Structure 1
Amino acid sequence: MKAAVIGATGYGGAELVRILHQHKLIRNYTIHSSSQVGATIGASYLQKLEPIDIEKISKDTDIVFMATPSGVSRELSPAFVENGIKVIDLSGDLRFRDSAVYENWYKKKAAPKHVLEKAIYGLTEINRQEIKNARLIANPGCYPTATILGLFPLLKNFAVDTESIIIDAKSGVSGAGRNASLATSYCEVNENFKIYKVNEHQHIPEIEQMLKKANSNLGPVKFNTHLVPMTRGIMATIYCKPLQMITEKELRELYQHHYQEDKFVRVRGIGEYPATKEVYGSNYCDIGITYDERTGWVTIVSVIDNLMKGAAGQAVQNLNVMLGIDEGTGLLAPPILP
């Protein structure tokens, strides 16, 4: 199988190249950029960046990964789909059926309606059956991945006060992308911890859209994000109030049962809570859960590597499901330590 990575100079694109390089079914791949044609990503990547020529890529390729900023895939993906090429889009362009939601939160023109209707939301653990037959995948955002996997089993299987949900999320600096900015410069980030996009992060509607599949009564969720002085990783600490008593043992059994067939979700034991380093460089999502009998609140801790399960790793997991092969192909390396 032949693949193309468009937007290969970003962190997500470079991570895709690293994974595809060792994927047993990818016979070869090309890397593309609109701004750095002819250059190489770095010493580890031998082939040069090629221009984005839709017709040539369509002729030579079976699958296209769009690792581009928002606003690019909406222009390119329709042509690839029309040419019969499978597309996995890592940007936010295809995640919403309602174009007005995208335009309101991303402040960009949405993709054509007929394209949005074909796109399948690519969180494997939630939409595995739809992904199997898909030709166009909207890869999830990093924060939504950690949050949805953390909350979905509880909302689907247990009565929760849907107005009580609070999501306190933190990310490493690579989540902001590779382009230089003052906000992500060393002096601004080092020894600093700050909140950003308060009440207006573009991942809010994506989280709400998918959690409504678990509980249709879900309303707006309280979600805020923080920048942590580290390179990779996301931790979503989630709080909610169940409408009836539940023990910690029951909580853990609920999550273990829900994710028993999902090799990339690991539910921790009682009293165990994951750290970002424990999934660093891997495609795992680790989840710890507890119930506080004194306050009556549930706390869920969900961690991922934002460039792996939150981006490139999830994209390859979706590719594997689309191909009908073991979804762990190319992704089973353990986390990096230290």
Structure 2
Amino acid sequence: MTHPHRTSDTGVRARFLLATAAWTVLVAAVLVAVPLAFAGRLPDPVASHWGPSGQPDRSMPPAALTLFALVWAVVAGTSLVGLARTRGEIRRATRVWFAAGLGWTGAFLIGVQAVTVAANLGRDDWSRAASPSWEIVVVVGVAFAVGALGRFAGRLGPDDAPPERERPGPLIDLDTRKRPVWVSTATAPWAVGLGVVAFAAALSFAAAALWGLAPAGWSTALPLALAAVIGLAVSSVSVRIAPEGLTMAFGPLRWPSRTVRLDRIERAWVEWRSPVQVGGWGVRGLPGRATVMIRGGDCLVVRYTSGGQLAVSVDDAETGAALLNALAARRTA
């Protein structure tokens, strides 16, 4: 089916990507130009951190101020590339939160860099740098204001119709003499690798603490162990569809798990989604409108009878959606 906003939405996509790319370049240029413009009036090194007393307690070379631009390039550039690679139109909800996040982050980095430069400006030694106070409040306030403007800008233009209104979900015939079961998985190898590395590092710090080599090792081992558990838990998902409903199990141990009863499911379909669209990897969104994002690509999307949705990135999602629709149709027949 051809959607009435298809042509105009394509224009919205192009304009949105162009505007976000322009903002990315502008912020990067400011973050590079400001330290270079005031390089002759800054001490070497410059104060980079202030303690609870308000006095500077850490320093760094003036050239390190351009690291703000590097951080911005990695954050904004990666996000922008991911958004540009998404298929089809960019939905309004994605535009709103992407523009708001990009606006807030860019303004915040410029503000923090500006405050750091101003505190060091004209000082002959970094230890005599001024102590920022009300400037921090202004930086945060301006960042939120720019984020709000980005959110408003993201709402401009038409919104593409939800995919479930454009096409019916797939359907297959069932043999009433057999019990149909479908199982599929999706795995993020990089998440598994990070989880294993974090777990190994946690064991190393714990062992060092037990042997007295690093008494403070426990303070590092515990956060690393927690990060390993969370990373491995969201590194893979297994989906099982049977007459009872849909069951999701997470991680290599297939725990924790969650079951959605068949009587709660209205229908299912397949939708292409990316981590950029849903805000990252793992379980994203709120209850009733959540996405389990393990890898970008086709997702099995389930609509509840209550009106909510659940999307899961899983292989062979088309077959899973067809079986769910057939089971739901047989239950209501």
TM-score interval, smaller chain: under 0.3
TM-score (norm. length: structure 2): 0.22
Q: What TM-score does the superposition give when structure 1 sets the normalisation length? A: 0.22
Greater Cα radius of gyration, structure 1 or 2: 2
Judging by fraction of residues, say which structure has more helix.
Answer: 2
